[in-house]
Structure 1
Amino acid sequence: MHLLRNGVKNYEWGSPHAIPQFLGDRRNGSPVAEVWIGTHPLSPSYALDGDGNEKPLTDVAGDLPFMVKLLAAERPLSLQVHPSRSLAEIGFAREEEAGIPLDAPHRVYKDTNHKPEMVYALTTFDSLIGFRPSAEILRVLGPLNTPLSQSLSDELRADPGFASIVRLIERLLTDDIDPAEVHQIVGAARTLGSLGMDIKRAYQTAVEIAEHHPDDIGVVISLMLNRMTLQPGEAAYLETGVIHAHLSGMCLEVMANSDNVLRAGLTSKHIDTAGLVAALNSGMARVARVTPDFIDYDTEVFSPSGGGFALAVTQISHAAPEGVELVRSEGSVLICTGGEVQVTTEAGDKVTLGRGESLYLSPEDRGATVLGLGEVAQAYVPPSRALRSRLVDVV
């Protein structure tokens, strides 16, 4: 077992208090957006031994196929899509050949991996995920009665369906749309909301996002997306090709080991319209809540098919004085999400974890058991024969 020291990302949309409080650190007022736990080369974790010496986690674990992020959003993240593996391989090779540095602002593909991901909520967590059905988008746009909303409605009504929605997104991202037209839509949404008219929180969402990005065309795009709220302990799975934007809250993200993101708005970062449109390949709302499976009474496992990863969440209490056995795997990352626990292996090794602390369990750390009072989340690659969690579409 190795305790981990993990990289921190201070993006502008982060929270100045959520992650520092979770980690027990002093707050300095700067936004803390993410903590990366894994072996991605842009921010690898370091493994500590019993004497406090550290070395890259890759020296201990090799390249892990998954990554865990602790994420806290106080402002909306960018509207984005994650590419498939084939698009990632092509895009990475193209940008490598062009000599674009990995840390260049206009670099899109940082690696050759696809990036499906699962969100496990630690607080109430709000996201925009996947397109609404055409009929619902038309219901949203119709009452706004602005020139832009009417134009979008006319186009979609003439040819409804996923392909037409993607064409609308492409048009919004490529046309030179006056910010005043965005302001008109936000004003109409605000007025309708004050009259008690809203359709599945579409108008509320546009008004909330406009407080942070008043001129951004992403505000208009948000009207076409489903809004999902996860309560603590709930999870959602996003396949590649699904447009999304996390809005607020704190979560654990488990994903393929990748940092490939194609953006569509609500950001000052580079937007690759053609690449994003090409990546939109997952139908109307190919996103699902993940229904966990239970191991005994203490552990629930979120294991979406196709992700290549799973998350086992274990509650530890005095009701299990001998501890709870963790899921056996060929290497896993464990993070304490509440309380204080002790992890013990068959060999007698012991590590104590407080909230926010994490460790790597190697294949040699057999029979790992956790004791105490708290909660731990364990990310790992499930065996091919493992049961897969049931997915429930949001629409």
Structure 2
Amino acid sequence: MDRLQNTVRPYAWGSATAIPHLTGTEPTGEPQAELWMGAHPGAPSLVDRGTGPRSLADLIAADPDRELGPAVAARFGPQLPFLLKLLAADAPLSVQVHPDSDQAAAGYADEERRGVPRTAPERNYKDPHHKPELICALTPFEGLCGFRDPAEAADTLAALDLDSLKPYVDLLHAHPEEAALREVLTAVLTADRDEMAATVTEAAAASARLGGPHATYADLARHYPGDPGVLAAMLLNQVSLQPGEALYLGAGVPHAYLSGLGVEIMAASDNVLRCGLTPKHIDVPELLRIVRFDPATPAVLRPEASPDGEEVYDTPVHDFRLSRYVLAPGAPVRDLTLPTPQILLSAEGSPTVGNLPLGPGQSVFVPAGEPVELRGPGTVFRATALT
């Protein structure tokens, strides 16, 4: 197994203190938004097998059957199919959606055929893969996920008592519900930018006066003045996770993380379509094609314990599987050997993986089939793939 040397991504929305506090390191004064663990080409982890640091992506590409196991390599190709992160949000991320596998493959092929550079800001599909993801809270964690019942969204808008929002309120009371949500989101994203900016400013001021749940929208507008994503957010469910709780985000579900520290796992893809709270490119027609407008209450996941103490977050994809072990002092040694590749991340305490002690925020890569044992005390997250 290999201790991982991981890269911190300093996105502007990141917390300057959450990851340093977890890892026991000094803050740099700069935001530390994400700590990446895996073989994603954007920031692959490094390992040292006695000849100096080397990219985990290069090691896997050189011998995928050994590192991933034949079954994972056959299903996903010569690449680790998941990316594990620590994510620390101190400001809202963009409202976004991800395509399903067929949409991603078709969109990627179309942009390749049209010669859209992969680094172009207007490029929607960086690869032909879907991007399901799961966030598990380490601290209280706030987010937005999925469309609310249109009547509830209408009540939220109506409470602001603004003439500019009344047409949206009327639309949200129309039927069928999915068509009503589509019409309102389309109207918000295609409105005159200056007029929409004025509406958002008024809505933010009214939200601040009302307080309570509306305070979230005032905060969004503080970070993104005049952004139509503030109104888009009013169509979505607000979700609060307690430590240990998780949220699965499938294809087409609009979502945004607002604040908190969590362990995130996702398929190793870069395909994101944004619909607000961002200065980045928004392709409204493509976004509206991908978004699923069915209202639903988000399902908060709690781990299911197996007889050996592994607590599994059940999700409907094969690209990743996330679980955790919470080991008290003196707990039995756990055999974690699997025929699939693993990343083991310490979140608390002082566990030992094989002969490697791990502090909070430290992680190891375990090649497929390599014998590995876990000793406590501590909390360890286990990331792997299914075949």
Match of 2:175 in 1: 159
Match of 1:142 in 2: 158
Query: CA separation of 1:49/1:352 partners in 2, compared to 1, >3 Å: closer, same or farther?
Result: farther
Matched residue SS, 2:299: strand
Q: Tell me how far apart the structure 1 counterparts of residues 333 and 173 of structure 2 sit (CA, whole Å).
A: 59
**Are residues 1:304 and 2:315 paired?**
yes
Q: Tell me how far apart the structure 1 counterparts of residues 320 and 312 of structure 2 sit (CA, whole Å).
A: 11
Match of 1:3 in 2: 3
> Could you tell me whether the CA contact under 8 Å between 1:83 and 1:241 is conserved in 2?
yes
Q: Tell me how far apart the structure 1 counterparts of residues 305 and 337 of structure 2 sit (CA, whole Å).
A: 12
- Residue of 348, 351, 354 corresponding to 1:338: 348
1:247-294 deviation per Cα after TM superposition (whole angstroms, max 9, x unaligned): 000111111111111001111111111111111126213742223221
- Residue of 207, 226, 233 corresponding to 1:189: 207
Q: Tell me how far apart the structure 1 counterparts of residues 351 and 7 of structure 2 sit (CA, whole Å).
A: 23
- Residue of 90, 102, 112 corresponding to 1:74: 90
1:83-120 deviation per Cα after TM superposition (whole angstroms, max 9, x unaligned): 11111112212222333333332222111110111111
**Gapped regions of structure 2 (runs ≥ 5):** 61-66, 68-77
Q: Tell me how far apart the structure 2 counterparts of residues 21 and 101 of structure 1 sit (CA, whole Å).
A: 39
Q: Tell me how far apart the structure 2 counterparts of residues 158 and 316 of structure 1 sit (CA, whole Å).
A: 52
Match of 1:365 in 2: 370
**Are residues 1:239 and 2:250 paired?**
yes
- Larger helix percent: 2
Q: Which structure 2 residues correspond to residues 238-317 of structure 1 after superposition, within 5 A?
A: 238-281=249-292, 283-285=294-296, 287-296=298-307, 298-306=309-317, 308-317=319-328
Matched letter for residue 155 of structure 1: L
Q: TM-score, normalised by structure 1?
A: 0.88
**Gapped regions of structure 1 (runs ≥ 5):** 345-349, 384-395
> Could you tell me whether the CA contact under 8 Å between 1:240 and 1:282 is conserved in 2?
no
> Could you tell me whether the CA contact under 8 Å between 2:132 and 2:267 is conserved in 1?
yes
**Are residues 1:88 and 2:88 paired?**
no
Match of 2:127 in 1: 111
Q: Tell me how far apart the structure 1 counterparts of residues 177 and 36 of structure 2 sit (CA, whole Å).
A: 38
Match of 1:206 in 2: 217
**Which stretches of structure 1, 4 residues or more, deviate above 6 A after TM superposition?**
none
Match of 2:238 in 1: 227
1:125-157 deviation per Cα after TM superposition (whole angstroms, max 9, x unaligned): 100001101111122122222122211011222
Matched residue SS, 2:159: helix
Q: Tell me how far apart the structure 1 counterparts of residues 337 and 216 of structure 2 sit (CA, whole Å).
A: 39
Q: TM-score, normalised by structure 2?
A: 0.90
**Are residues 1:172 and 2:188 paired?**
yes
> Could you tell me whether the CA contact under 8 Å between 2:338 and 2:369 is conserved in 1?
no
- Residue of 364, 379, 383 corresponding to 1:375: 379
Query: CA separation of 1:50/1:294 partners in 2, compared to 1, >3 Å: closer, same or farther?
Result: farther
Q: Tell me how far apart the structure 2 counterparts of residues 141 and 111 of structure 1 sit (CA, whole Å).
A: 38
